[in-house]
Structure 1
Amino acid sequence: MTRSLFTPFTLRETEFRNRVMLSPMCQYSATDGMATDWHQVHLGTRAAGGAGVVMTEATAVEPRGRITPNCLGIWSDDHAEALESTVEFVASQGATPGIQLAHAGRKASHRPPHEGGDPIPADDPDGWETVSSTDRPYPVGEDASVDPAATRRLDGEGIDEVIEAFVDAAARSRDIGFEVAEVHAAHGYLLHQFLSPVTNDRDDEYGGSFENRTRLLREVVAAVREVWPDGKPVFVRISATDWLPDRDSWDVDDSVRLAPLLAEAGADLIDVSGGGTHPDQQIPSAGPGYQVPYAEAIREGTDVPVAAVGGITEPTHADALVRNERADLVALGRELLRRPYWPLEAAHELGADVEWPVQYRRGQFD
């Protein structure tokens, strides 16, 4: 059978009903990290809408790992319990529930975008001290009304605590039924901060050489893999490039080199995005599929399965990415915000026979 957007895809012993993935997108709707009704409706709607993999937003593994005070977390059993009914509903609709395990590092302690996105000082009741590979805070823009929170360089004990936080969060996610664990190492957040020479100015075993800068991510992936069921996959989201061509930075060649090391550590798929390290980044024209070449380069250079993301909106385009073996999964973000039932519409346009929820079959296309 020719591969297409609506052919199943299997990793380990987990079968995804199709190749469409809801890309992780922050909702800024949690209370002290706790999931709310919004998360169940948001994620559940995309599952009922036909997505193959429904991935949570960046879910912090510890309180200081949140991007904003309103971000989702899973650093306690209570946080896991708050997500459990959402996981059950997503699975009941035939989708594969996934969780993105995240730590914002020095990009933590910010206001949500709809409140201006400014950094929150550590002495503000809503703020906290951030941690990173460096003691340099994330740069603020000229329009920022406040200075960033203080940033503390993680020492060896702090690094061990971060790894343990990822492990504990993965174990909680496993116990409430998530089928995919995705380690977030993109967009300038903590694990990306260790990868990139732009943000990693260390001279210990976690800094300097490529091997050292990638060490923490490899250790986190291996540690998560240890507690994740053998039959279920681990994803890793990376920024394939910092989009900083005029300085020593992380680039696509680094990502191609990293991918097999992540596979060796236990990753089953690389979810390929870009940027986020520094506000001076030079983002290319964001046309349809503008980041697909990064995923394709990793897939061709390493033979590791990949998810492609970035400006993918048309069913024929998404289908061609899979059919032409440029990507194994197609991650949609903004388009699934606009059109939560996009997979059902896409299947009709492509002539694929897919199952509709019984409650919606009266609206099924003729």
Structure 2
Amino acid sequence: MLPAVLALALGLTACGAPDAPTPPSEPPKAARDAAPVAEATEKTRIEVSELVTGLEHPWGLAILPDGDMLVTERPGRLRRIAADGTVSAPIGGLPKIYVDGQAGLLDVVLSPTFAEDKLVYVSFAEPNLRGNKCGTAVARGRLEGDQLRDVEVVYRQEPKLSSGTHVGSRLVFDDQGHLFVTQGDNRVDSAVQSLDTLQGKLVRIWPDGRIPEDNPFAKREGARPEIWSLGHRNMQGAALHPVTRKVWTSEHGPMGGDELNIPEAGGNYGWPVITHGVDYSGEPIKGSTGREAPGMAQPHHVWEVSPGLSGMLFYSGKAIPEWKGNLLLGSLAKTALIRLELDGDRVVHEERLLAARQDRIRDVREGPDGAIYLLVDAEQGKLLRIRPAR
């Protein structure tokens, strides 16, 4: 078993929770005894393998050029997983992390020029000075063995209003090298429609934290220049479309009204003024005018019953040609992998896969050979692989 002080000894700090995060009861390990399971889908037969078990609430996955993987665990650990499923001790060098509820260490992506600069970007919940609130932040550092070196925070959500809920977050680079950061509203509805706060905003920055001069609000007095779009509730999925090269995002509605969006510069996507969902009490959302309002964009696609959307992937079709161009989304509430067929940008068909497994699918990534890798969010979380059934 991993010693309880290992994460702290490697430079991780937990804030916000009563105690520092402790390792799961069993350390992560390769699932050597788990045989692949075949499942029939509408398009093909697939094989689902458990590669790693015992990951504590895994959140983000990035695949390294050599085939190894970086995986974040929400309590504040970044691990390297080898192709044979061997799991490293936590990688050191991460900044202070607020760990409580939904907050902790979140997404991980590689720099577009990782082969040269070895830079790894992580999003996380950053504590305020008192340690009683947090906001989404992004840090980067050079990966050298079991350490991140020269770590710096390149983005901070301000003000810090979250008590451990609705922090997002996914990281996506576009073709021009901009970094898009999805976030949540911190459960503070009043901040979402204000341009002087960063709650409920999709932001666009340069990799070193500088602000692009052509951001839609960069020259507006009183507005945060990082903002790309606003009116979002809690965005936990994002991906770059393989043809249009636009960023697509997914976000949680309240009770109902999960959304898929293609956020335009300066667009207002309505939360909490417009929504297809209702409060968890069953009552209308306070301050909402219904499903539409002047100057506010409709969702590109909406689920009236919330699947709890998380990580997303436009699939290349390399290993499963029938799925080429399909959009795959993790589902937390409905415990499935959602497969959407598209006609251009339009959603024309939906299939839900792996529902019988009852796994909360947090992230979806594609390997170099076209295999699809999934993270299962649980105290004893898993790394799964999907390939065509043999």
Pair in the same fold by TM > 0.5? no
Q: Which has the higher helix share?
A: 1
Structure possessing the higher relative contact order (Cα contacts under 8 Å, 6 or more residues apart): 1
Q: TM-score normalised to the size of structure 2?
A: 0.30
Q: Which has the higher strand share?
A: 2
